A and B are shown apart, each in its own frame.
Chain A
Amino acid sequence: MKLSYYPGCSLESSSKEYNMSARAACQALDVELIELKDWACCGATSAHSVNHTLSITLPAKNIALAQELDADLTTPCAACYNVLKKTDYTLRHDEEMRTKTEQITGFKYTGQVNILSLLEAVATKVGAKAIAAKVKKPLQGLNAACYYGCLLVRPPEVTQFDDREHPQSLDQIVNALGAKAIPWAYKTDCCGASLSLTSAEIVQKMVGRLVNAAQEAGANAIVTACPMCQSNLEMRRPKGAAGMPVFYFTELIGLALDLPDANRWLKLHLLDPLPLLQSLSLAR
């Protein structure tokens, strides 16, 4: 299967292990990713906070690139996904905005390209069964709190993916890898997102709540599909909270499928996940 691929800005720097593991996991799962040529930033929270038109026109430029490739578009970043999907929804339903966007960006929207988060692509186009069949090293002993955050499931009329309050797709993948997805109540609570830089103390409290809840539920790790959630959970961990590591789901796929580069990704974390994995004999 072929998908056009939009990594997003943070996957080129602070979250590069997500990019590396996403590409490796997809290759192992027979998903061909073709990176959009000369893609630009989606505008993220900043564009929609200060200029609504820009929040549609900037991502639309990338949808235009995916149209040229004639392949559904996937992105590992939950924030980029949310912005691209919202733009697609607007272009589909708001004629006035579509006309304006087409004028500004100089492309004709066809509506032929579907926008998928990488989690959605792996869950629906590959599926837990096919993943389980490829597992070489089941992640036994890993009790994972699957953390979806906000941007994959809300607003539900736009994302149209999984349950808005109690999503399951990531749990199913984690279970397919031989780990145990533990039930907990904070799957879709916000981590504080981009407030991390402007109001670090607020984000610390939000992150503390999440980590405590995961620990109480019996987790020894958290799994995410969002670079912003992952870095907030690592960098804004309050003193005294449990030290459990935070994985990208693609890293867990890499570990369970015994992909050769897995250790390279894990070494890039700010909160070292290797001691836990070594104690469970899951990493060298």
Chain B
Amino acid sequence: MELITQAGLDFYREIREKSGQPIELCYQCQKCAAGCIANEYADYYPNEIIRLVQLGQKEKVLQCKSIWICSSCETCGARCPNGINTRAINDALKEKAIAENLVKDNKVYLFHRQFLNSVLLNGRVHEPTMLALYKLKSKDLWSDLDFGLKLFTKGKMPLLPHRVKNRRAIKEIFNQSQNQ
């Protein structure tokens, strides 16, 4: 009986290398799951994510909700008896899912893109435009309008961005990091 296909094994090795985590050491003690605050909103527990990677279940794990609902609080990794940082595995999985074009209709990814676009454009995040663009593109323009207005009247939403002078250097960092 074949437990794992060659493609599955390659996937496991790739995520192990990308995340730098000793994924093979997980023995399913579930300490990560016991401390995970996102459990009730996720489709897999952290230990299940690791098991899916161990078994090369690429499609399942790259299309799951859990990797995006993880807030990167790192409680799982801090408590793992085998020193596995699940946040780093989730990051590697997200990066892989993006590369394989498997992320669709995902608000978290949309937010990250707006955030990084703002950094690319200004060198720093300009919260008002970043938030407005995110709200517009997620078709959820009205939900936080009251907070936005309150922040604005308190002078906490500056209209003009504080831009970095050497934006060319920032652009270069983005370009070169993307090619890695």
On A, residues with C-beta under 8 Å from B are 9-10, 12-16, 38-41, 43-54, 57-58, 61, 100, 103-105, 150, 153-156, 164-165, 188-190, 192-195, 197-200, 202, 206, 235, 267-268, 270
Contacting residues, chain B, for A192 (C-beta < 8 A): 71
Contact A53 B177 (CB under 8 A): yes
Contact B116 A46 (CB under 8 A): yes
Contacting residues, chain B, for A57 (C-beta < 8 A): 173, 176-177
**Interface presence of B127 (CB below 8 A):** yes
Complex CA distance for A156 and B138, rounded to whole angstroms: 35
Which residue of chain A has the shortest Cβ distance to B94 in the bound complex? A49
Take A40-B119, A53-B177 as given contacts and tell me if A155 and B74 are in contact as well, using a CB distance cutoff of 8 Å.
yes
Contacting residues, chain A, for B77 (C-beta < 8 A): 154-155
User: Can you name 9 extra interface pairs (CB under 8 A) apart from A104-B177, A202-B41?
Assistant: A10-B125, A12-B162, A40-B170, A50-B112, A53-B177, A150-B74, A154-B77, A195-B69, A202-B69
Which residue of chain B has the shortest Cβ distance to A50 in the bound complex? B112
**Interface presence of B11 (CB below 8 A):** no
Complex CA distance for A235 and B144, rounded to whole angstroms: 9
Contact B178 A199 (CB under 8 A): no
Q: Which of A53, A100, A154, A235 sits near B75, CB closer than 8 Å?
A: A154
Take A51-B178, A198-B108 as given contacts and tell me if A41 and B125 are in contact as well, using a CB distance cutoff of 8 Å.
yes
Complex CA distance for A61 and B154, rounded to whole angstroms: 32
Contacting residues, chain A, for B87 (C-beta < 8 A): 155
Taking CB atoms and an 8 Å cut-off, the chain B residues in 88-107 that contact chain A are: 91-92, 94-95, 98, 107
Contacting residues, chain A, for B119 (C-beta < 8 A): 40-41, 43, 58
Distance between A147 CB and nearest chain B CB, rounded to angstroms: 13
Q: Which of A50, A190, A268 sits near B95, CB closer than 8 Å?
A: A50
Q: Which of B38, B111, B128 has the most CB of A within 10 A?
A: B111
Distance between B102 CB and nearest chain A CB, rounded to angstroms: 13
Which residue of chain A has the shortest Cβ distance to B18 in the bound complex? A52
Distance between B35 CB and nearest chain A CB, rounded to angstroms: 9
Which residue of chain A has the shortest Cβ distance to B115 in the bound complex? A46
Complex CA distance for A100 and B131, rounded to whole angstroms: 32
Contacting residues, chain B, for A199 (C-beta < 8 A): 41, 69, 107-108
Which residue of chain A has the shortest Cβ distance to B38 in the bound complex? A202
Take A13-B157, A197-B134 as given contacts and tell me if A50 and B116 are in contact as well, using a CB distance cutoff of 8 Å.
yes
Complex CA distance for A156 and B75, rounded to whole angstroms: 10
Contact B150 A104 (CB under 8 A): no
Contact A49 B91 (CB under 8 A): yes
Which residue of chain B has the shortest Cβ distance to A153 in the bound complex? B78
